[in-house]
Structure 1
Amino acid sequence: MTNVSFYPIGTVGEKWGDAEKAAWFASTQIKRSYQDNVVTPLKAMGSQLGVLGLSVVQYGALSIDPARYPLFAVKSATFDPNKITVLVTGGVHGYETSGVHGALAFLANNAAHYVERVNLVVAVCVSPWGYETINRWNPKAIDPNRSFYTKSPAEESAALMALVASVPQGFDVHVDLHETTDSDEEEFRPALAARDGKAFIPGTIPDGFYAVGDTENPQDAFQKAIIDGVSKVTHIAPADDKGEIIGSTVVQHGVINYLLKALGLCSSVTGCIYNTTTEVYPDSPSATPAECNLAQVAAITSAIDYVLALN
């Protein structure tokens, strides 16, 4: 485990400047292949998706290496105004593996069940550089999942916002796929504290799946439907002895709420009524990578099923 009392970049109590951010960037390493693990499987689905009336579209590319990091989404080829419209986002935090591979698994195995009933947009890996370096931030030490607002400093977030804006009828459902990992506590939260010149206060990582709703629009029954669906695949995180999960009050089994828009979170990007952020725990001794991917798929399908049942 990383020594969380001291982060090796920067001066304790001082915010990072350009030199510290450059040193942090220099410390990152490519650890896996976005092209091999994400782009190639997605393109291999192209003909299968085409038969379903879905198209693989490029909606941008990262400036650090546009050829290496194109941004892809799968969209309904035509949008029917009489159908609900669903957005699925994976890999906003690139290191959160099951978000990316859960989105791919949904497209490969489940999308066919829904294409006649919903308009669909799936952004498989919003942060491909973060995917390759197994990182929460982008190359500029910016968290894309705190950057969904006007004039975003994160190009990953700005590109996704432009994609969302290109769908004029708007969205009814958004499922944003995430993980909470041991590395949050060991690496990423200490780095955040160092970057911002703050003291790191250790926390705890919940063992199991949980969902994050919107404090201003909680939609409790919708969140419960997701928890019920995921519980058939993997275990749900219990509240800690304070009745909390990662410092937030548990409002029902496996659910906490955040002020999504105020925090610039991805799940606020559409302004839709039914949105959720999934949080899978891949480091649990009781879960496998395959199980984590299936939990993400269960969250997507449970969310869509709930809203379809209302219409």
Structure 2
Amino acid sequence: MNISTFPPIGTSGQAWGEKERDEWRTRQVKQRSYTDEVVGAIDRLHGAFDVAQYGQIEYAPDHYPLFAVRNRDWHADMPIALVTGGVHGYETSGVHGALRFLERHAAQYAGRINLLVAPCISPWAYERIHRWNADAIDPNRSFREGSPAAESAALMALVAPFRDRIVVHIDLHETTDSDESEFRPALAARDGKPFEPGTIPDGFYLCADSESPEPVFQQAVIEAVGRVTHIAPADPDGTIIGSPVVAPGVIEYDYRKLGLCGGISNARYRTTTEVYPDSPRATPAQCDEAQATAVRAAIDFALAHP
């Protein structure tokens, strides 16, 4: 059983206003360093990759440069693989899995496909191990025109010139026990709605785009990751986090309707990973490797099925 750890803010049944958001913000405490853990790792890539700052997030007194990494032998006539991590800052393996891919595996794709990697979309949330940004907005429901989330708007601006050249996009996420104990209760409180308890799957799974599911592609990624960590089984009702399981370890969402990061390009092959770092059957290194393996499997499939 998951017990809510979210402290009450505001009045039950009433959506938050600015006062409640301010109260929530004052409770968020920096727990780790984006500069040391992420920017430091990106700095070590300069010798082998082109690194560019594509934006800056300002939450006074803090400011966070946003970085994208791409292969040095970029070819204007070559298709692009897009990798994104840390849209939800608390989902650690999404960030470090993207960096692990760059450090250990990206070189093998030289001359075969362009790589564009944004390892940490939400640095303020990364430091506070949170799902939302400093305005209590979920960036992964904000990838749409006129986005209220600066993190989402910056990534969309980065990707816009390449939308039609991206052939594969893999967005790296986690599902954690804190989703049920903290973030879903917080969402209900913020929106003035009752909290409805759910379940947390034990294992890795994928969320495909219901508008372009590409089931053979999804299964290729699942099969590759299954050699690294365990795949989440369906709940007794045939669902994972309340969504019908359409194939082993795969559910579907409508990316663009929900404003998800996976919908920002016109890639034929797109998927969202979900690692379960709280499982007693998985280590942090295993979670990072699962993410990097998913990236490799996605790109390999796209190259084999142009």
**TM-score > 0.5, shorter chain as reference:** yes
The residue aligned with 2:66 is 71
Q: Does 1:199 align with 2:183?
A: no
Deviation at 1:4, TM superposition (A): 3.0
Give the residue type in structure 1 aligned to 2:147: S
Deviation at 1:170, TM superposition (A): 2.8
> What is the TM-score with the length of structure 1 in the denominator?
0.95
CA contact (8 A) 1:209 1:254 kept: yes
Deviation at 1:100, TM superposition (A): 0.3
The residue aligned with 2:274 is 279
In the TM superposition, what are the counterparts of 1:137-216 in structure 2 within 5 Å?
A: 137-167=132-162, 169-216=164-211
Deviation at 1:106, TM superposition (A): 0.4
Deviation at 1:10, TM superposition (A): 1.3
1:250 to 245, 249, 266: 245
Structure 2, unaligned runs of 5 or more: none
- What is the DSSP-based 3-state SS (H/G/I as helix, E as strand, rest coil) of the residue aligned with 1:63? strand
The 1:66/1:164 distance shift into structure 2, 3 A limit, reads: farther
CA contact (8 A) 2:79 2:165 kept: no
The residue aligned with 1:227 is 222
Cα deviation digits, residues 88-107 of structure 1 (max 9, x gap): 00000000000000001000
CA contact (8 A) 2:5 2:182 kept: no
In the TM superposition, what are the counterparts of 1:19-38 in structure 2 within 5 Å?
A: 19-38=19-38
> What is the TM-score with the length of structure 2 in the denominator?
0.96
Distance 2:31 2:73 in 1: 37
Distance 2:26 2:62 in 1: 21
CA contact (8 A) 2:73 2:111 kept: no
Distance 1:288 1:228 in 2: 19
Deviation at 1:167, TM superposition (A): 2.7
Structure 1, unaligned runs of 5 or more: none
CA contact (8 A) 1:210 1:227 kept: yes
CA contact (8 A) 2:206 2:218 kept: yes
The residue aligned with 1:13 is 13
Distance 2:193 2:164 in 1: 42
CA contact (8 A) 1:215 1:258 kept: yes
CA contact (8 A) 1:7 1:194 kept: no
Deviation at 1:83, TM superposition (A): 2.7
1:264 to 259, 264, 272: 259
Distance 1:42 1:19 in 2: 37
Cα deviation digits, residues 158-184 of structure 1 (max 9, x gap): 000000013365311000000000000
Deviation at 1:81, TM superposition (A): 4.6
Counting aligned pairs with the same residue, the percent is 58
Distance 1:274 1:168 in 2: 13
The residue aligned with 2:55 is 60
After TM superposition, the runs of 4+ consecutive aligned structure 1 residues lying more than 4 A away are 65-68
CA contact (8 A) 2:164 2:265 kept: no
Distance 1:162 1:109 in 2: 28
Deviation at 1:75, TM superposition (A): 1.8
The 1:113/1:201 distance shift into structure 2, 3 A limit, reads: same
The 1:281/1:33 distance shift into structure 2, 3 A limit, reads: same
Give the residue type in structure 1 aligned to 2:108: H
The alignment of Structure 1 onto Structure 2 pairs a total of residues equal to 306
The residue aligned with 2:235 is 240
Moved more, 1-10 or 186-195: 1-10
The 1:12/1:5 distance shift into structure 2, 3 A limit, reads: farther
Deviation at 1:79, TM superposition (A): 3.9
Give the residue type in structure 2 aligned to 1:148: F
